[in-house]
Amino acid sequence: MTAFALDPDQRKWCAELRTLAAERLGSLAAAGEPGRVNRPLVAALGELGLLERLFSAGALDLCLLRESLAYGCTEAETALALQGLGSYALVQAGTADQRERLLPEVIAGRAVAAFALSEPGAGSDAAALELNAAPDGGGWRLTGAKCWISNAPDADFYTVFARTTEGAGARGITAFLVPAGRQGLTGSRLDMLSPHPIGTLDFDGVPVGPQDVLGEPDRGFRVAMNTLNLFRPSVGAFAVGMAQAALDATIGHTSRRTAFGGPLKDLQAVAHQVAEMATRTEAARLLVHAAAAACDAGDPGIAKRSAMAKLFATETAQYVVDTAVQLHGARALQRGHLLEHLYREVRAPRIYEGATEVQRTVIAKELYA
> Of 52, 36, 69, nearest to 152 (Cα)?
36
User: What's the burial of 295, exposed, middle or buried (CB within 10 Å: 0-12/13-18/19+)?
Assistant: buried
Residue 64 in contact with residue 237, Cβ under 8 Å? yes
Residue 198 in contact with residue 150, Cβ under 8 Å? yes
Taking the CB of residue 258, how many other CB atoms lie within 10 A of it? 9
Catalytic (active site) residue 353: yes
CA-to-CA distance for 25 and 69, rounded, in angstroms? 9
> Of 143, 145, 157, 153, nearest to 190 (Cα)?
153
SS3 111: coil
> Of 238, 332, 318, nearest to 277 (Cα)?
318
User: What's the burial of 275, exposed, middle or buried (CB within 10 Å: 0-12/13-18/19+)?
Assistant: exposed
Catalytic pick from 67, 75, 315, 353? 353
> Of 100, 176, 109, 81, nearest to 136 (Cα)?
176
> Of 185, 181, 241, 191, nearest to 35 (Cα)?
191
* Integer CA distances (angstroms), 350 to 29, 92, 134, 235, 319, in order: 23, 26, 34, 9, 12
Residue 30 in contact with residue 195, Cβ under 8 Å? no
CA angle 69, 73, 78 (to 5 degrees): 70
CA-to-CA distance for 86 and 42, rounded, in angstroms? 13
Catalytic residues: 353
